[in-house]
């Protein structure tokens, strides 16, 4: 970037000036945002995006890259505070590469990052929120939106490992390619499939901030890319965005900006595992969908339990104003001599066998951290979780906690609630089989009582 343009880019993120310098990712040229007198409101911006269907020349207004949004020292400090084992598995990036059986993706959201156990983690969370706002502002200005137009729908720090990739997609609808015979030579046009519901139809834009590069992350590949929406998703050279720490990519969320990520590959055969880190954020224009920012919670470092289950943990606490706080379904005490690792593995295997019930891809099962299973419904309106090894609140030493989770912005669908009760009957039957076959009589009476109380809360009969 030229010195003068760099100065302008720096000013826009540190003052109230209305000018900003961006790199048009479609051809690498540089352009300047118009001033706030000409900025887009939510409605005029949506009209602009819609006009892409008949005027592809506006695409440079709907995507681009920006450098130096966040100071390198702040990015380096953030990365240094995020060890690879701190990340938890997450859904949505389950593609395999060349037959590798790996998800290749894990993440940390605000909920995980807000829980701190040291002064350095307290500082990290505060700095992250500052970075988050700087990136939101940069995205808003780069798309020439009036101040305060964009609200953050979701924030995550993603970690792609060996084989992690993301296939071309839009962020607010499922797409297909419709053949065309337009005079400008376009052979196809990516089109939203209105027959399929999408979990995030309100998203209007997104941003990706690279947090490391190939050298520091010990990887090759991993580049973000834009796929050609008018040529069956072909990825052209100018659509690839090199992985450079501090580079931010911004784009609108519809079919005009199909995008994905190339596979992350190990750079060398040393001990360091490949990890490509990025701060991903999605935006909406409805303030009611603004992401809940949890207050910082300080917890003492865990200590060994005095119960036979050395992995017993305290029940998670939630702020009373947290809209994403889960709904407790039921707790079931477990005999002390049940092996928690074996139980988690066996229940995970059972739940995977139920993913296509009652129909293909009805559920998606993932392991969250070391002791929790997440079971997400196909419409993404809700999921339920099984948390093993949680200390019970009464006389029992430990047990498994069942909870329902939503995003706090929309309720669980009626279809979800019906199917949840059906699958939970099966889960309780399997849990009973696994525990009772252990042959231990200790505490089984308490387990059976808890099991029957749980069944009484479920409205659907067992299948």
Range from 66-75, 145-154, 177-186 carrying the lowest mean pLDDT: 177-186
Q: How far is CA 282 from the centre of its chain?
A: 10
Confidence at residue 37, expressed as pLDDT on a 0 to 100 scale: 58
Confidence at residue 359, expressed as pLDDT on a 0 to 100 scale: 93
Three-state SS sequence of the chain: CCHHHHHHHHHHCCCCCCCCEEECCCCCCEEECCCHHHCECHHHHHHHHHHHHCCHHHHHHCEEEECCCCCHHHHHHHHHCCCHHHCEECCCCCCCCCCCCCCCEEEEEHHHHCEECCHHHHHHHHHHHHHHHHHHHHHHHHCCECCCCCEEEEEEEEEECCCCCEEEECCCCCEEEEECCCCCCCCEEEEECCCCCCCCCCCCEEEEEECCCHHHHCEEECCEEECCCCCCCCCCHHHEECCCCCCEEEEECCHHHCEEECCEEECCCCCCCCCEEEEEEEEECCHHHCCCCCCCEECCCCCCCCCCCCCCECCCCCCCCCCCCCEEEEEEECCCCCCHHHHHHHHHHHHHHCCCCCCCCCEEEEEECCCEEEEEECCCCCEEEEEEEECCCCCCCCEEEEEEECCCCCCCCHHHHHHHHHHHHHHHHHHHHHHHCCCCCCCHHHHHHHHHHHHHCCCCCCC
Structure confidence at residue 184 as a pLDDT band (50, 70, 90)? low
**CA–CA dist 66, 87 (Å, integer):** 27
> Encoding tokens for residue 386?
């099984």
Structure confidence at residue 236 as a pLDDT band (50, 70, 90)? confident
Confidence at residue 80, expressed as pLDDT on a 0 to 100 scale: 93
Checking if the pLDDT of 463 tops 70, the result is no
**CA–CA dist 79, 257 (Å, integer):** 28
Owner of token pair 């920006």: 66
Structure confidence at residue 296 as a pLDDT band (50, 70, 90)? confident
3-37: per-residue pLDDT in tens? 333 333 333 333 333 334 444 444 433 333 444 55
More confident residue, 267 or 427: 427
81-106: per-residue pLDDT in tens? 998 888 887 543 333 223 333 347 88
Q: What is the mean pLDDT of residues 396-421?
A: 90
**CA–CA dist 264, 406 (Å, integer):** 31
More confident residue, 462 or 377: 377
Checking if the pLDDT of 73 tops 90, the result is yes
Q: What percent of the chain lies above the pLDDT cut of 70?
A: 80
Confidence at residue 10, expressed as pLDDT on a 0 to 100 scale: 36
Highest mean pLDDT, choosing among 120-134, 183-197, 224-238? 120-134
Q: What is the mean pLDDT of residues 114-132?
A: 88
Structure confidence at residue 442 as a pLDDT band (50, 70, 90)? low
Q: How far is CA 15 from the centre of its chain?
A: 31
Q: What sign has the CA pseudo-torsion 132, 135, 137, 143?
A: negative
Structure confidence at residue 178 as a pLDDT band (50, 70, 90)? confident
Residue 227: which of 245, 244, 240, 242 has the closest Cα?
A: 240
My answer on whether omega of the bond before 98 falls inside 30° of 0, hence cis, is no
Paired strand residues for 225: 240, 260
28-71: per-residue pLDDT in tens? 333 334 445 589 999 999 999 999 988 889 999 999 999 999 99
Confidence at residue 432, expressed as pLDDT on a 0 to 100 scale: 94
Highest mean pLDDT, choosing among 233-237, 251-255, 437-441? 251-255
Confidence at residue 85, expressed as pLDDT on a 0 to 100 scale: 84
More confident residue, 181 or 381: 381
Range from 17-21, 193-197, 283-287 carrying the lowest mean pLDDT: 17-21
Q: Ramachandran region of residue 232, left (φ > 0), alpha (ψ -120 to 50) or beta? A: left
Q: What is the mean pLDDT of residues 142-167?
A: 94
More confident residue, 436 or 180: 436
Checking if the pLDDT of 391 tops 90, the result is no
Checking if the pLDDT of 423 tops 70, the result is yes
Q: What is the mean pLDDT of residues 150-171?
A: 93
């Amino acid at each position: 970037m030229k010195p003068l343009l760099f100065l302008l880019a720096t000013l826009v993120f540190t003052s109230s000036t209305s000018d900003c310098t961006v790199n048009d990712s479609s051809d690498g040229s540089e352009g300047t945002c118009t001033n706030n007198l000409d900025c887009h409101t939510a409605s005029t911006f949506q009209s602009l995006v819609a006009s892409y269907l008949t005027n592809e020349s506006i695409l440079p207004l709907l995507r681009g890259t920006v450098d130096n949004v966040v100071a390198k020292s702040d990015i380096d400090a953030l990365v240094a505070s995020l060890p690879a084992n701190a990340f938890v598995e997450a859904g949505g990036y389950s593609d395999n590469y060349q037959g590798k059986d790996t998800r290749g993706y894990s993440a940390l959201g605000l909920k995980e990052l807000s829980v701190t156990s040291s002064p350095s983690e307290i500082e990290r969370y505060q700095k992250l929120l500052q970075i988050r706002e700087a990136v939101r502002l940069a995205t808003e200005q780069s798309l020439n939106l009036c101040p305060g137009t964009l609200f953050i729908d979701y924030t995550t720090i993603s970690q792609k490992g060996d084989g992690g990739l993301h296939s071309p997609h839009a962020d607010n609808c499922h797409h297909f390619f419709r053949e065309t015979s337009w005079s400008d030579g376009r052979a196809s046009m990516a089109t939203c499939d209105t027959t399929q519901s999408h979990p995030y139809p309100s998203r209007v834009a997104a941003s990706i901030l690279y947090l490391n590069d190939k050298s520091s992350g010990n990887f090759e590949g991993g580049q973000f890319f834009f796929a050609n929406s008018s040529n069956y998703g072909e990825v052209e050279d100018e659509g690839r965005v090199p992985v450079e720490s501090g580079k931010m990519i911004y784009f609108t969320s519809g079919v005009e900006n199909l995008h994905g990520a190339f596979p992350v590959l190990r750079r060398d055969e040393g001990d360091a595992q490949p990890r490509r880190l990025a701060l991903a954020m999605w935006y909406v224009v409805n303030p009611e969908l603004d992401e809940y920012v949890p207050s910082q919670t300080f917890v003492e470092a865990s200590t060994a339990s005095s119960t036979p289950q050395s992995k017993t943990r305290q029940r998670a606490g939630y702020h009373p104003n947290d809209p994403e706080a889960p709904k407790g379904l039921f707790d079931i005490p477990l005999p002390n001599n049940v092996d928690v690792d074996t139980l988690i593995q066996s229940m995970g295997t059972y739940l995977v066998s139920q993913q296509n019930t009652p129909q293909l891809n009805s559920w998606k099962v993932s392991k969250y951290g070391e002791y929790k299973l997440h079971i997400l419904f196909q419409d993404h309106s809700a999921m339920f979780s099984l948390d093993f090894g949680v200390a019970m609140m009464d006389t029992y030493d430990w047990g498994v906690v069942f909870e329902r989770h939503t995003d706090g912005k929309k309720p669980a669908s009626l279809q979800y609630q019906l199917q949840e009760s059906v699958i939970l009957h099966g889960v309780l039957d399997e849990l009973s089989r696994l525990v009772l076959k252990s042959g231990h009589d200790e505490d089984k009476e308490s387990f059976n009582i808890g099991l029957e109380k749980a069944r009484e809360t479920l409205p659907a009969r067992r299948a």
